[in-house]
């Protein structure tokens, strides 16, 4: 739950929880150092500055996308089916999951679902989308953002070792970048480049 809050948009509710997050983490030795840089960042400056910084890092570009299926399916039409699968997992829990206007694969929501509703189902989603978590972790690490430590902490709770680089993540995922394939026949001559005569 601490990871969910620390990766969520820092609205007033999140910012008010900072002392609670610190207090809970203090009871779990070895976790505080992964969260403290983000907690410090969230607690520094005026709320509007903290929120603007969050939007700049997580909402305006795709390099730090917090939507798990973005990393596996990009902006392809196939992603709709994947998002539907996330909703099915939530429905099977028989709990009303309020997405707050977010897509169902939003990492803080998946983390909250695992923490508060169904640990096993939430963990399965995190394991399934481990390559997405690792790509996000590496992007945050490359840009020297402290959130990479929280992603590392999440990945450390999952089976297996974290890949060292993006090539290793792609190998872990078993595929290359997403491509659009809906409605396209392979080798359709209409899609081949035209040659000048």
The answer to whether residue 175 scores a pLDDT higher than 50 is yes
Burial class (CB in 10 A: 0-12, 13-18, 19+), 131: buried
Asked whether 68 and 107 are in contact (CB, 8 A), the reply is yes
Task: Output the pLDDT for position 4.
Answer: 95
Q: How far is CA 160 from CA 16, 155, 176, in A?
A: 35, 9, 21
d(CA 195, CA 192): 9
Both structure tokens of 35: 């969260």
Give the CA dihedral 171, 173, 178, 180, nearest 10 degrees: 120
Model confidence band, residue 74 (pLDDT cutoffs 50, 70, 90): confident
Task: Output the pLDDT for position 25.
Answer: 93
pLDDT digits (tens, 9 = 90+) for 91-124: 898 777 666 778 899 999 999 999 999 999 999 9
Both structure tokens of 197: 């005569």
Packing angle between helix 130-142 and helix 119-128, nearest 10 degrees?
70
- Tally of residues, the chain: 197
d(CA 12, CA 22): 17
Report the chain's mean pLDDT, rounded to a whole number: 82
Percent share of the chain, pLDDT over 90: 49
């Amino acid at each position: 739950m601490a990871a969910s809050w620390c990766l969520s948009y820092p609205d007033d509710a999140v910012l008010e929880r900072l002392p609670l997050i610190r207090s809970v983490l203090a009871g779990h030795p070895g976790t505080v150092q992964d969260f403290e840089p983000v907690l410090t960042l969230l607690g520094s400056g005026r709320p509007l500055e903290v929120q603007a910084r969050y939007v700049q890092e997580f909402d305006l570009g795709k390099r730090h996308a917090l939507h798990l299926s973005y990393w596996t399916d990009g902006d392809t039409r196939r992603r709709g089916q994947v998002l539907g699968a996330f909703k099915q997992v939530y429905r099977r829990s028989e709990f009303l999951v309020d997405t707050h206007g977010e897509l169902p694969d939003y990492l803080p929501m998946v983390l909250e679902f695992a923490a508060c509703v169904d640990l096993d189902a939430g963990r399965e989603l995190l394991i399934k989308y481990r390559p997405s978590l690792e790509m996000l972790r590496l992007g945050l690490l490359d840009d020297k953002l402290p959130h990479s430590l929280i992603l590392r902490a999440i990945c450390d709770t999952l089976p297996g070792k974290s890949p060292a680089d993006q090539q290793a993540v792609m190998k872990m995922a078993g595929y290359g970048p997403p491509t659009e394939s809906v409605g396209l026949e392979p080798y359709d001559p209409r899609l081949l480049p035209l040659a000048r005569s």
